[in-house]
Structure formats: structure tokens, C-alpha cells
Amino acid sequence: MNVTPDQTVYVDWGFVKLNATLVFSWLTMLLLVLGSWLITRRITATSDLTPGQNLMEVLVKGMESQIEEISQERPRRYLPFVGTLFVYIAVCNILSVVPWYEAPTGSLSTTAALAVCVFVAVPYYGIRHVGIGSYLKQYVKPNPMMLPFNIIGELSRTLALAVRLFGNIMSGSMIVAILLAIAPLFFPVVMHALGLLTGLVQAYIFAVLAMVYIASASKARRDKAQAEEDSSDAEDSEGES
């Protein structure tokens, strides 16, 4: 058996290989986009909702409030990226209970790709938000000696993101496969149910961590604004005294 869907190759053109990861990714993407399109095609602003729209609204609103809670900012600019991370990972993990479906998140290539996306998104949002100078200054805080540690931290958390998700999903499917060999009745079902839970939890963790990293990168401006506010307060009090 294959540990990762990367190893299930359908077509091989040398470097370019059409493996199960890509196929099921596309399948999942198709499902997501088609489902969204079908639901939002007949979207209405009245209170007369279709159940699908209701579900989508609950989902989007829930993600929005989560992002707002973490970033303490207007969530709209982060929603497409962070929301898609959550939805994609969650749907992949949930679909892993479907027979013959191999979750793309069980492949280190996919999780690494997602982690790299987060790794790029952090400076992208940070620079857009606070400017390149403020963003880069964060690496030498609290003093320049910390620069290497900050860079290592940045890299290691990206690695941790990728490996955590991969490890969890891969181990889940591995356990099911092993249990299937040992005790083919009942136990795999229980483990699948557990897998659903861990899958959702992992999706949530991945998205929340991504949001936390992005938010901490744009924290500089908030700190600066806070510092300016404090100093003006101090000046005011001095003037008063």
C-alpha cells in the first residue's frame, strides 16, 4: 500500500506525473466550485433562503467571525485566503471517508504547498498592511540578535504546518489501513469517525494558525499606533503637570 497518494501515479511523462493527489485535488476543487456556483446562482437577499444558501451563510459567517476574533480587524480581506484553506482542507478530510477517495491532504506535497502559500501570504499581507520597512523591522525585534531566531522560527512554523497536517491525515489513513488488516469489522468504522473529527480539527488548526501568523505580521502597525497613542497621552499628562 501507498503511504501517500503521490505514489499512485496514473500517467507518467517523466517530471510531469498525473498522480492521485492531483486528480483528487481537482475533484475536490470541482466539487467545491460547482457546489458554490449551484447555491449562489439562485442567491437571494430576502429571508426566503434555500437550505444550501443558509448552510453557506452559516459557514461564511462563522469563518468571518473567527477571523475577526483573531485578527481584530475587518475580516473581508483575509476571508478568501484563510477561508479557502479551511474549506479545502476540511472537505478533503471529510471526503476521506468515501471509499477509494485518497485525501490530497495526506500528501506531503499538498500540505507543503499549502504551508508555502501561508509562508508567502504572511509577508504579502504584512507588507501590504504595514509597509515593507515596518514588516522587516519585526525580524530584528526585540534586538538584532534575534534576527536568526526569527527567520528560523518563520521557517520552522511553516514546516510544522505542513508536517502536522500531513502527519495527522496520513496517520489516520494508515491506522485505518492497518486496522483493516487486523480487525476488518467495526474498528475501521470507529477510526474513520475519529478521522472525521481529527480532519476537521486539523483544518481548523491550519486555518487558525495561518490567520495568527498573518495577524502577527500586521501586528506591527497596531503596536506602533498603540505606542503613538501612549506617548501622546504621556505628553498630555506632562503638559498638564
Partner 1 sequence: MQIDWFTFVAQIVNFLILVVLLRLFLYKPILNAMRDREERIRQRMEQAEEREREAEEVKQEFEDKRDDLRHRESEILEEAKSEAQSRRDELLKEARQEAEEAEKRWREAVRRDKDAFLSGLRRRAAQELCAVARRALADLADAELERQVVHVFAAKLRDLPDDAATALADATKDGQPVRVRTAFELTGDAEDEVRQALDAAGHSGDMTVERDEDLVCGLELRFAGHRIAWSVDGYLGSLERRFSEAVERSVRSDDDGDSDGDGKGADE
Strand partners, 132: none
Q: What type of residue is 229?
A: E
Residues 6 or more apart whose CB falls under 8 angstroms from that of 29 comprise: 88
* Among the listed residues 68, 77, 84, 124, the single contact to partner 1 using CB under 8 A: 84
Those residues with Cβ within 8 angstroms of residue 139's Cβ, 6 or more apart along the chain or in another chain: 146, 147, 150, 151
C-alpha cell of residue 147: 534576527
Residue 217 CB, shortest distance to partner 1, in Å, is: 18
Judged by CB under 8 A, does residue 218 bind partner 1? Answer: no
Q: Which of 67, 70, 87, 95 binds partner 1 (CB under 8 A)?
A: 87
The CA-based angle 184-186-192, given to 5 degrees, is 95
Q: Does the protein bind partner 1 through residue 93 (CB under 8 A)?
A: no
Stretch that binds partner 1, among 100-108, 122-130, 146-154, 208-216 (CB under 8 A): 100-108
- For partner 1, the binding residue among 1, 50, 72, 116 (CB under 8 A) is 116
| Residue selected from 8, 27, 68, 109 as contacting partner 1 according to rule CB under 8 A | 109
* Choice from 67, 104, 191, 206 touching partner 1 (CB under 8 A): 104
Instruction: For 145-196, give the DSSP string.
Output: GGHHHHHHHHHHHHHHHHHHHHHHHHHHHHHHHHHHHH--SSHHHHHHHHHH
Residues that bind partner 1 (CB under 8 A): 3-4, 6, 15-17, 19, 21-22, 25-26, 29, 32-33, 36-37, 40, 43-47, 53, 56-57, 60-61, 64, 76, 79-81, 83-84, 87-88, 104, 107-110, 112-114, 116-117
